[in-house]
């Protein structure tokens, strides 16, 4: 069924999803707070900075008017960087209409409140219906119709199925899940692990190191996520290990690329400036550490990433400290009889 859908945020991911939904027969609007970005998309029909070479259909409407983007729409997709989710939700609140479905597709944890992004939207837009979409899905590939799978999280099963149908086609497949908390935590925490993976590559480590990092990274995000109420299956799924693999191994990943620069000796600010896009893992790293302290969970990789990011710890020293920790079992719940 055709729907009127607005994508709030005209970055690479928002633009790619707008193209997908337009192809699926929906009436799509893109909103951006940046008038220059709106003019570029309207005049060039291309997100030249973030998705060069990919044209958007003439049927996609682009506007700077938030009220216009929200009024009369059945679905609103929040595709702004995580640090702008609260301000965008606050601006959108006066125009929100009862029954509109909000889908957050950004990934992160708010540092000062430790709130997930869906919680932030619910906090700013009272009575809103908030779902999430996550998984191994680089915008650069989705925009070029490369086969991709994601998971849609919703509190209501029928709504999850409906959104699954809205997004799915012959090259984009959506699964469903009730575990919104687990999906969001997997998406946020994997960005921090991806910074560590980039550091590994920047230091010219090999495949052994990357495999170890991804595997132990899954252990960290699973431990913390389950302690907070997420389901173990979620962290073994698309928004957990799936998203972690793609973010830790791809040159499309801004978190991996920022980590690579850190591994080469750049400072956090130098790395962020060179990547030229919001590096979500930097903003989630402190929040993850605070959540781990709150729930009494060990996350040594994320702890060392924080040391490198915020306390100028040399990356080689951080690696040594990870290896020189007390030895332990791989799985504490497995024992010798």
**Which residues are part of the catalytic machinery?**
190
Are residues 191 and 141 in contact, defined by beta-carbon separation less than 8 angstroms?
no
Q: What is the dihedral of CA 187, 29, 73, 86, to 10 degrees?
A: 40
| Burial per residue of 72-102, b for 16 or more beta-carbon CB atoms within 10 angstroms, e otherwise | ebbbbbbbbbbebbbebbebbeebbeeebbb
Contact between residue 218 and residue 235 where contact means Cβ atoms under 8 Å apart: yes
CA distance 323 to 78: 40
For the chain, the C-alpha Rg in angstroms (whole number) is 20
**Alpha carbon distance 28, 3 (integer Å):** 8
| Residues in contact with 254: Cβ distance below 8 Å, sequence separation at least 6, in sequence order | 275, 277, 278, 279, 280
């Amino acid at each position: 069924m055709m729907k009127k859908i607005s994508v709030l945020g005209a970055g690479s991911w928002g633009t790619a999803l707008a193209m997908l939904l337009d192809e699926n027969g929906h009436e799509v609007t893109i909103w951006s707070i940046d008038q220059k970005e709106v003019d570029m998309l309207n005049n060039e029909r291309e997100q030249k900075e973030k998705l060069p070479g990919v044209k958007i259909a003439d049927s996609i409407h682009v506007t700077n008017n938030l009220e216009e983007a929200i009024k009369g729409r059945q679905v609103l997709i929040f595709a702004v960087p995580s640090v702008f989710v609260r301000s965008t939700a606050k601006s959108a609140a006066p125009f929100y209409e009862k029954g509109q479905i909000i889908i957050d597709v950004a990934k992160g944890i708010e540092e000062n409140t430790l709130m997930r992004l869906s919680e932030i939207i619910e906090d700013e837009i009272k009575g809103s219906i908030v779902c999430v979409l996550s998984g191994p899905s680089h915008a650069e590939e989705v925009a070029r119709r490369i086969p991709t799978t994601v998971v849609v999280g919703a509190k209501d099963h029928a709504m999850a199925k409906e959104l699954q149908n809205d997004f799915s086609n012959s090259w984009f497949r959506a699964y469903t899940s009730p575990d919104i908390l687990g999906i969001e935590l997997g998406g946020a925490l994997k960005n921090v692990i991806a910074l560590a993976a980039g550091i590994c590559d920047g230091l010219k480590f090999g495949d052994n190191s990357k495999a170890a990092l991804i595997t132990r990274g899954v252990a960290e995000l699973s431990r913390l996520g389950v302690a907070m109420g997420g389901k173990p299956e979620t962290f073994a799924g698309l928004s957990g290990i799936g998203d972690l693999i793609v973010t830790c191994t791809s040159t499309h990943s801004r978190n991996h690329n920022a980590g690579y620069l850190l591994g080469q000796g750049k400072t956090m600010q130098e790395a962020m400036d060179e990547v030229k896009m919001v590096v979500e893992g930097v903003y989630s790293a402190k929040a993850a550490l605070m959540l781990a302290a709150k729930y009494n969970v060990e996350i040594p990789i994320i702890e060392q990433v924080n040391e490198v990011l915020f306390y100028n710890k040399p990356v080689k020293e951080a690696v040594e400290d990870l290896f020189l920790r007390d030895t332990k079992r791989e799985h504490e719940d497995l024992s010798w009889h």
